[in-house]
Amino acid sequence: MSGPLLQRGGDWLLALRVTPKASSNQIAGFHAASDGSVSLAVKVTAVADKGKANMAVIDLLAREFGVPRSSFEIVRGETDRNKMLRFAGDAPALAARLASLVKSGTN
């Protein structure tokens, strides 16, 4: 089983499982798929209409990880709840922050 942050070639990718129309915006932990892959579970209050939920996801991740919104780009799953984002930045720092957010339950 691998974590949600993966390195493919020169890119760092972050796997997400998104729940739109949630009661709050939060990083809700990990989602384990039946194939053994692990994604970061993210909930947003925005609806999945015309990219609103995608924008809310990027806003939430940028705020939680303390990076600019431009650090994230959706590379797969634009219209799906399972998404893959490319991360441009300090991946080890992102991994450390990801681990601390999930361990502490800070959402």
With beta carbons less than 8 A apart as the criterion, state whether 58 and 48 touch: no
CA neighbor of 31 nearest in space, from 102, 92, 95: 102
Tell me the pTM.
0.86
Interval 23-34: pLDDT, tens = 999 999 889 999
Q: What is the largest CA-CA distance in the chain?
A: 37
Interval 54-91: pLDDT, tens = 999 999 999 988 899 999 999 999 999 999 999 988 88
At residue 101, the 3 state secondary structure works out as helix
CB-hemisphere CA count at 13 Å for 40? 28
